[in-house]
Amino acid sequence: MSENKISTNENSTNELLLRIEEKYKRLSKGQKRLAEYVCQNYDKAVFLTAAKLGDIVGVSESTVVRFATQLGYKGYPGFQKALEELVRNKLNSIQRMEVTYGRISQSEILATVLQSDIEKIKLTLAGIDQKAFELAIDTILKAKKIYVIGIRSCAPLAAFLTFYLNLICDNVTAVNTNSFSEIFEQLIRIDQNDVIIGISFPRYSMRTLKALEFASNRKAKVITLTDSIHSPMNLYSSCNLIARSDMASIVDSLVAPLSVVNALVVALCMKKQKEVVATLETLEKIWDEYQVYSGDELNHVSSSMPGGKDTEGSGDE
C-alpha cells in the first residue's frame, strides 16, 4: 500500500477513513498494518476486540489501543464506535448476510437474536435524551396536523404509530411513499403549525430524507426516530429520538425503535386521558352496534383435552 494514499474498496467521506488517511504517514509500522486491515476489512474488524484484532494483524493489544488513540479516539471503545458508523452505512444486504453467517451458528440463532434485541433496548434506554422525548410529546400535542413517514422496513413502525395516533389526536396522516411525487403531493399544505415524524434506519431512505427537508423548508416541526446522532435524518429535525438497531444482520432489528414508539403512545395517552377514554368508549359502542368483533373473536382453546373438547362447556350450546 502506498504511504500517500489509503486504499479502500470504494470512495468514502467517512470520518474514520479520513483520519486514517490523514495520519497514515505518521503511524508506526505495526499501526500501518492495522490501518490497512481496517480499511480493507472493516466489516470484520467491527466485531473484534482489541486483543483479537492485534492477533489477526500480528501486533500487540497495546499497539491496537495506541493506534486508536493516535487517530484521535478515546481508546479502543471510541475507535470501535467509529467503526460501527462506517459499517452501518456501507454494508449492503448481501454483505450483512455474510457477516451474520460468519458470527452466528444455526444452533445459536434464537438465543443470539433475542439477546441482541435485549441489548439494543438497554443501550437505547441508557442513551436516549429524555428532554428530546418530552419535546416530541409536546410538539405532537400542539401540532395542527401530524404526518408520519417510514419506508421499507420502517413502514410497519410508521403504520403502528399512525394507528395509535389516530386514537389520540386529530388530523393524523400516514404519508404514502410509493413515489417521490406522491410524497410531495401529500405534504403540499404542510406549514409551521404542523409536525412530521420521520422514521429511518440504515440503509437510510432518500425519500424520507427529502420529505423531511421539504417539511423543514416550510417551517414545519420535524421529529426523527433514527439510530444515531450522525444519521442524515437529523439534518432537518428539531427533535431527535435515538434508538439502537442491529447494523449487521440479515434483517433490521427494530425492537428498540418499536419500544420508543410504544413509549410515545403511552406518554401521549397519559397527556390526553379523557379524550382517549371517550374515543375508546365510542368505538366500543360502534363495534357492538355493527358486530365488528362478534364473529371474529375466538375463545381460548382448552388445554385439558387433546381432542379440543372443553370440559367447562362449549360456546356453541
Neighbours of 234 (CB within 10 A): 18
Average pLDDT, the chain: 82
- One domain for residues 32 and 176: no
- Residue in the block written with cell 504517514: 25
- One domain for residues 209 and 262: yes
- One domain for residues 138 and 205: yes
Is 112 within the bounds of a domain?
no
Is 301 within the bounds of a domain?
no
Q: Which of 46, 75, 90 is the last residue of a domain?
A: 90
Q: What is the pLDDT confidence band of residue 311, given thresholds at 50, 70 and 90? A: very low
- One domain for residues 67 and 167: no
User: Which range, of 21-35, 100-114, 128-142, 185-199, averages the lowest pLDDT?
Assistant: 100-114
Is 261 within the bounds of a domain?
yes
- The model's pLDDT over 10-59, given as tens digits with 9 standing for 90+, comes to 333 467 888 888 888 888 889 988 888 888 777 778 778 888 888 988 99
DSSP states of 125-167 as a string? HHH--HHHHHHHHHHHHH-SSEEEEE-GGGHHHHHHHHHHHHH
Is 169 within the bounds of a domain?
yes
Is 286 within the bounds of a domain?
no
The stretch 192-220 carries a mean pLDDT of 93
Is 297 within the bounds of a domain?
no
Q: Which of 90, 109, 136 is the last residue of a domain?
A: 90
- One domain for residues 131 and 238: yes
Three cell numbers written together for 54: 492485534
- The model's pLDDT over 56-72, given as tens digits with 9 standing for 90+, comes to 889 999 999 999 998 88
Is 298 within the bounds of a domain?
no
Identity of the residue numbered 232? P
Domain, as residue range, for 30: 15-90
CB 200 within 8 A of CB 257: no
- Of 177 and 295, the structure prediction assigns the larger pLDDT to 177
- One domain for residues 145 and 234: yes
Three cell numbers written together for 136: 416530541
CATH number of the domain encompassing residue 67: 1.10.10.10
- One domain for residues 129 and 258: yes
- The total domain count for the chain is 2
- One domain for residues 271 and 130: yes
- One domain for residues 132 and 176: yes
- One domain for residues 166 and 265: yes
Q: What is the pLDDT confidence band of residue 295, given thresholds at 50, 70 and 90? A: low
- The model carries a pTM of 0.68
Q: Which of 90, 111, 145 is the last residue of a domain?
A: 90
- One domain for residues 86 and 125: no
CATH number of the domain encompassing residue 182: 3.40.50.10490
How far is the C-alpha of 72 from the C-alpha of 147, rounded, in Å? 41
How far is the C-alpha of 88 from the C-alpha of 95, rounded, in Å? 11
Closest C-alpha among 3, 57, 2, 8 to residue 30: 57
Is 104 within the bounds of a domain?
no
Three cell numbers written together for 305: 383435552
- One domain for residues 84 and 125: no
